[in-house]
Structure 1
Amino acid sequence: MSVPNVRAALAALALLLPVAAAAAGPSAVHCGKLFDARSGRMLGPHTILVRDGRIDSLVSGGNASVQGVEDIDLRDRVCLPGWTDLHVHLGSQSSPQSYSEGFRLDPVDYAFRAVGYAEKTLLAGFTSVRDLGGEVAPHLRDAINQGLVRGPRIFAAGKSIATTGGHADPSNGYNSMLSHLMGPPGPTEGVINSADDARQAVRQRYKDGSDVIKITATGGVLSYARSGDAPQFTEDEVRAVVETARDYGYRVAAHAHGTEGMLRAVEAGVTSIEHGTHMTDEVMRLMKQRGTWYVPTIHAGRFVADKAKEDGYFPEIVRPKAAAIGAQIQETFARAWRAGVPIAFGTDMGVGPHGDNAREFLYMVEAGMPAAEALQAATVHAAEVLGVDDQGVIAPGRRADIIALAADPLEDIQAVLDVRFVMKDGEVFLGPGTR
């Protein structure tokens, strides 16, 4: 994907869109209730003083008077730390045309679409995301950071690292003429076939400005290939990825549906397993021993299982994988939670429609997780997975990422679908009374 084309698209879009949020001056946010993400408890009224994009102080009682600041009245609302979705793809969104669009659309088209997807995600209450695969994401991240467009804070993987013919090999499904013209993709394009290739691919992601490394340790559901769960990296290859990533300060997320691929990834030291469909008791024990996080993406599983029932939505090579694998993820999540596997929040949004991320909370609770733990998965636990200590809780010194709901999600988890206020880094993107 052409970097200049992506940057040009985002710059052009910035000239067309009014993106300014409310001025980020000092403010006092008066909350009717406040979710303490560290303890998982819902507290009573509090006032949050925000200065320079950070939380300056926190005062019990929602009526604290502070001179010289803007008052934001959320006394009839429930305040929480901004949520983090650890698995999104902001450069795309599933549709029956997804497989043909790759041959028809330019990078500029994907960049323009991504801007809208990013804003939907932010306004749904997600102030941070980890984008796990897509060349648009690093440039979208930079445009958001520069204030050119509206969106969440992005931790971008850039191109996922795959093996030849594996999930995330960009040439899967190409006919022989196209394959001959383009040549086999290599480490620069994120496709590896040896430990040396693996090291080069990580270094290329460093050169490209990625924030995290993503590997496709097994087959996948939506790739144009037969296997959805076979291991696709040797032990040496995945270990080379992890060791090289560690040299550069990167954490590694491993897409994995099959058992053997998960075992290899966890043994090698990845930070998180994504999806984890065929996770066995052995894998769960190993993840607990190693402190490996599980990011389940139930929403994506349910979405693809539903769409597999529709004629023509997926290519026929994909349809049986979507039907078989997608339907299992929620049950795997339930078993993993009961077993005590560390769990953090992620949706694989881009498979489902952007902005619908909060439905994952409903599915987690439906599977047996208490609402408070589901909210912690998207706040303090997500921050642990990212390796950051400045977000995920509402406390002095942390980023002023604050959202508010119309009702208490600990009493009714459906409340997460009704976000009424969004502040990121002290800037208000969705104000009281906007909806």
Structure 2
Amino acid sequence: MAWRLEKKQAVRGLSRLLLASVAGGVLSLGGFGTQAYAQAPSAVLLEHVRLFDGTGTAEQDDMAVLVQGPRIISVGHSGHVKAPKGAQRIDLSGKTLIPGLITDHSHVGVVSGTSVGAENFTAPVIKAALDQYERYGVTTVTALGLTKSPLFDDLRRAQHADGATGADLFGVDQGIGVPGGMPPEGMVKVGKDQIFRPATVAEAQQAVRTMASEHTDLVKLWVDDFRNGVASQKPLPVMKPEIWQAAITEAHNQKLRVAVHIHDLDYGKRLVAAGADIIAHGVRDEPVDGPFVTALKDRGVWYIPTISLDEATYLFAEQPEILNDPVLKAGLNADLQKQFSDPAWRQKVAASPLAKASHAAVAMNQKNLLTLYQAGVKIGFGTDSGAAPVRIPGFAEHRELRLLVEAGLTPLQALTLATSQAAALLNLSDRGVIAPGKRADFVILEADPAENIAAVDQIAAVWRGGVRAAGPLVPR
């Protein structure tokens, strides 16, 4: 993805402070908080490790990966990769190395604890979320809208810098919703400066031009009545076709791609016909059909299932024993712990019409994902984590991998979606695979994910930009 940098004084100062802090071994960036990082030597040879390189090919045993600075220098069998004099050697016998996970659909600065609203779009809240993603092995995050400029733009640039801590950050400036409609103002509660809600074609075109001037990575549209499969739910107003067409056309004029939030097959078809580049949620109301599959393939449209979005609606209410899972506890704050432990909350959620509809949505989403995958449609990886308190950054991505495997993918196929395919959706050629010249973003696992996808929970260490950044996820 081409990255266009503005030479703003504030950004230069932010980047200098970030790099100076990392050089000292500690990040201390104003409200970002403080986090110690291991100081990387000039070169590190990771050897005797089982390697999944992200390309979809079989794992290889007894491999070595040479890292110098933020990049991978060499990959080969142990004993055949030459390390420079003085390089640190790390024996990873029995462990598995995979690329850092990449989410194509998440959100930052919307949620803090159990609260949702504009007050959460702050540097400390966002940085804490990026640090949490990193601890779970998610090294690149795409915030698909509901952001605020210039703060989001400054944070994004800072996260791109070599030596930055926490997950790298890409995303959508603001995004385009509907007056009185999606995303629902009463639920999301973001500020008016975090989303555009154009009522006319001219307003839609201007919204896209504003986003382009802020160097947004993508344009995001919400096209959904928000009934979520609940027949008794009153529908919200839906974006008019002339508005979405104007936004898509203007985005393409600005050389920007468009990601669209949908729930139903009908809107999916209509938006693909209008030129949408990315379907940002799976179709959940009915089985996908031949014309839709053909349209996705012929137009090269990407499809992000986000299966765990609906599972999160009922998971913590219906499975209270999951609160004992140390992998969940690693990302669970006190407010959420209290909410999930409340029997009244669990009973209310489990008995709601939305919970029943969400079960059906997960099953339909999985069925459609497998159909599209087997048909050769381009599939990305995302969860909508960070958009609601129950969609927990990092943990949601681990759940998504399980749900992809439950849908019929092999563990390595699911991991391929979350690494090289997710990078390809973003047009990022520098990550998502373990190969010479690529970013040294990777995760070291205690177990083999090819045998059981749950191995992704057993994180021994996370490396981000050639530096050991976090781990283990669960203290041993």
- Judge same fold: TM > 0.5, yes or no: yes
Q: Residues 73-84 of structure 1: matches in 2 within 5 Å?
A: 73-84=91-102
Instruction: Work out which of the residue numbers 404, 415, 432 in structure 2 matches 1:364.
Output: 404
Amino acid at match of 2:47: H
* 1:335 aligned counterpart, secondary structure: helix
Report if the CA contact (8 A) 2:370-2:407 is conserved: no
Which whole-Å deviations, capped at 9, do the CAs of 1:176-196 have from their partners, x for residues lacking one?
Answer: xxxxxx9xx6x9841112332
Give the drift of 1:28: 1.4
Amino acid at match of 2:87: V
Residue equivalent to 1:41 = 58
Deviates more, 1:383-392 or 1:246-255: 246-255
Amino acid at match of 1:287: L
Equivalent pairs counted in the alignment come to: 407
Give the drift of 1:77: 1.0
Amino acid at match of 1:338: T
Residue equivalent to 1:106 = 119
Residue equivalent to 2:328 = none
Superposition RMSD on alpha carbons, in Å?
3.4
Q: Residues 300-339 of structure 1: matches in 2 within 5 Å?
A: 300-306=309-315, 320-321=353-354, 323-325=356-358, 327-339=360-372
Give the drift of 1:334: 2.4
Amino acid at match of 1:54: R
* 1:355 corresponds to 2:387: no
TM-score by length of 2: 0.75
Q: Structure 1's 311 and 320: CA in aligned 2 closer, same or farther, altered over 3 A?
A: farther
Instruction: Work out which of the residue numbers 44, 54, 67 in structure 2 matches 1:27.
Output: 44
Q: Structure 1's 306 and 140: CA in aligned 2 closer, same or farther, altered over 3 A?
A: same
Residue equivalent to 1:86 = 104
Residue equivalent to 1:373 = 413
Give the drift of 1:165: 1.5
Report if the CA contact (8 A) 1:330-1:363 is conserved: no
- How far apart are the structure 2 equivalents of 1:51 and 1:132? 32
TM-score by length of 1: 0.82
Residue equivalent to 1:178 = none
* 2:102 aligned counterpart, secondary structure: strand
In structure 1, list runs of 5 or more residues that go unmatched: 175-181
Q: Structure 1's 107 and 305: CA in aligned 2 closer, same or farther, altered over 3 A?
A: closer
- How far apart are the structure 2 equivalents of 1:35 and 1:146? 26
* 1:400 corresponds to 2:406: no
Which whole-Å deviations, capped at 9, do the CAs of 1:5-42 have from their partners, x for residues lacking one?
Answer: xx9xx95324x413544336322122421113223311
* 1:41 aligned counterpart, secondary structure: coil
- How far apart are the structure 2 equivalents of 1:298 and 1:207? 33
Instruction: Work out which of the residue numbers 281, 285, 288 in structure 1 matches 2:294.
Output: 285
Which whole-Å deviations, capped at 9, do the CAs of 1:138-162 have from their partners, x for residues lacking one?
Answer: 4443343458973111112132211
Report if the CA contact (8 A) 1:218-1:228 is conserved: no
Report if the CA contact (8 A) 2:366-2:403 is conserved: no
- How far apart are the structure 1 equivalents of 2:356 and 2:73? 49
Q: Residues 112-123 of structure 1: matches in 2 within 5 Å?
A: 112-123=124-135
Q: Structure 1's 315 and 60: CA in aligned 2 closer, same or farther, altered over 3 A?
A: same
Residue equivalent to 1:72 = 90
Instruction: Work out which of the residue numbers 235, 246, 249 in structure 1 matches 2:252.
Output: 246
Deviates more, 1:385-394 or 1:187-196: 187-196
Report if the CA contact (8 A) 1:217-1:231 is conserved: no
- How far apart are the structure 2 equivalents of 1:36 and 1:148? 23
Q: Structure 1's 253 and 229: CA in aligned 2 closer, same or farther, altered over 3 A?
A: farther
Q: Structure 1's 228 and 327: CA in aligned 2 closer, same or farther, altered over 3 A?
A: farther
- How far apart are the structure 2 equivalents of 1:321 and 1:202? 33
- How far apart are the structure 2 equivalents of 1:194 and 1:313? 42
Give the drift of 1:62: 6.0
* 1:389 corresponds to 2:429: yes
* 2:379 aligned counterpart, secondary structure: coil
Give the drift of 1:51: 2.2
Instruction: Work out which of the residue numbers 303, 306, 321 in structure 2 matches 1:297.
Output: 306
In structure 2, list runs of 5 or more residues that go unmatched: 1-9, 15-27, 319-342
